[in-house]
């Protein structure tokens, strides 16, 4: 093997290692945005929509 070929193999191997490590790191890092899906049924009880014109007792 010539010195040139050795260096080329070294660069290729290094690139594969760096690319593989980056891919693993991206898989391990938490996603920055996840949209939640709806459930089909509300887990609590439902009531009919009443008159909304009355001011709320809640703060805000």
Report the half-sphere exposure of 11 (CA within 13 A, side-chain side): 6
Tokens of residue 27, six digits: 């898989």
* Residues touching other proteins, count (CB under 8 A): 26
Does the footprint of other proteins cover residue 59 (CB under 8 A)?
A: yes
Question: Strand, helix or coil at 57?
Answer: coil
Least Å distance, CB 53 to other proteins, is: 5
User: Which residues in 33-52 contact other proteins (CB under 8 A)?
Assistant: 33-39, 42-50, 52
Task: Decide whether 3 or 48 has the Cβ nearer to other proteins.
Answer: 48
């Amino acid at each position: 093997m010539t010195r040139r070929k050795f260096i080329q193999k070294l660069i290729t191997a290094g690139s594969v290692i760096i690319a593989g490590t980056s891919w693993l790191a991206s898989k391990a890092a938490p996603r920055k945005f996840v949209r939640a899906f709806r459930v089909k049924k509300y887990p609590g009880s439902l009531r009919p929509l009443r008159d909304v014109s009355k001011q709320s007792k809640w703060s805000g």
